[in-house]
Chains A and B, each alone.
Chain A
Amino acid sequence: MNVPAAWYLVLAALLFGIGAFGFLTRRSAIIMFMCIELMLNAVNLTFVTFARSLSDIGGQISVFFVMVVAAAEVTVGLGIVVAIFRRRASTSVDELTEMKG
C-alpha cells in the first residue's frame, strides 16, 4: 500500500511555494527560469498523484505535454537571455528599465 495521495499533494504545494518565492525574490534571469522549472515540476507531481489516485492515464499524458512545453519555453527564454546579455552585459532583471513610463 502506497502512502496517501495527500502527502504527495502537500509536498507538491511546498515545492510550488519555494519556486514562487524564488521567482519573486531572485534577480538573475537564469535563476528565475530555474524557479519556473521548480513550479512546473510541482504541478507535474500533482498531476501524477491525481493520475495514481483516479487510475487515469490522462494525468500522465498531461505531464508529458507540460514537459514538452517546458523544454520549448526554456529554449526560447534562454535565447532571450543571451540576446539581452549581448546588449547589457548583465542578466539582472532590475536593469531592464527601458519601458519605465
Chain B
Amino acid sequence: MIAIAYAWPAIGVFVVATLLILGGAVGVLIYKNPVHAALSLILCLFGVALAFLAQQADFLAAVEIIVYAGAIVVLFLFVIMFLGVDRTEALEGEPLVGQRTFAAIAVTLVVAGVVFLMASSHWVTGVPSVSTGGTPLSAGAGNVRQIGTSLYTTYLIAFEVTAALLIISVVGAVNLARKERPRVGESAQ
C-alpha cells in the first residue's frame, strides 16, 4: 500500500542500497580475514554513497567514495599488509563469558529503542530551514554550490579548525609509527 504512493525507481534504489549496506556490514562482522573485512567495508560504503545520491547529497556521495573507499580503506589495507596480520583471527571462544550474548541483547535494546522512539515521534520533526526558503535541496551542481557557500560563510571557522586538526593528526601518526632511534649523544640502551 505504501509502495504505490512512491515511485518504483526510488524504491529500487533503496532496496539496492539496503542490500549493499547490510551485506557489507555483516561481511565486516563475520569475515575472519581482515583483508576480506576491509573489502566488505568498501561494499558497505558504496551502499551508503548510493543512499546519499538518492537523497540529493551528490557532493557527499562523491566524497564518500573518494575519502572512505579511496583513502581510509586503503589505509586499513596498507596497515594490514604492513603488519602482516592477514592471518585469520579465531572467532570461536570468548574471553569473557557470555560476551556475545550480552552484546547482542544490548545492541538489540538500543536499536529497538531508537526505532521505537522515532516511530512514536513521527520520525522527522522540526521546521524546514529558512536558509533555502523551504524549497527542497538542489541536486547536482546546485548541491555543490550550496555546500560551498555554507562552508565558506557560516561554517568558516569550523572549516579552518579542521585544517589544524588534520595537520595535528598527520604529525601525531608519523610520530607514533616512527621507529624510535637513540639520539646522537645518548648512549644506546
Residues of A with Cβ closer than 8 Å to B? Answer: 1-11, 13-22, 24-28, 30-31, 33-35, 37-38, 41, 44-45, 48-58, 60-61, 63-65, 67-76, 78-83, 85-86, 91-92, 94
Contacts and interface: CB of A to CB of B under 8 A. Distances in A.
Contact of A24 (B17, B106, B129, B170): B106
B55 A20 contact: no
Interface string B113-146: 0110011000110111101101111000001001
Contact of A68 (B6, B37, B166, B168): B166
B104 A21 contact: yes
B147 A60 contact: yes
24 contacts: A2-B10, A5-B123, A9-B124, A15-B22, A18-B28, A20-B107, A21-B107, A22-B29, A27-B95, A28-B89, A37-B41, A41-B68, A57-B137, A60-B137, A64-B60, A64-B151, A70-B68, A72-B166, A72-B169, A76-B176, A78-B79, A78-B173, A82-B176, A91-B85
Given A19-B25, A34-B38, A11 B103 contact: no
Contact of B28 (A10, A38, A56): A38
Nearest to B149: A57
Given A78-B75, A78-B79, A3 B136 contact: no
Interface size on B, as a range, is: 35 or more
Contacts of B11: 3
A25 B59 contact: no
Interface string B63-96: 1100110011001100110110100010000010
Contacts, number: 243
7 tightest A-B CB contacts, nearest first: A56-B129, A79-B176, A79-B173, A72-B169, A24-B103, A17-B111, A18-B25
Nearest to B155: A61
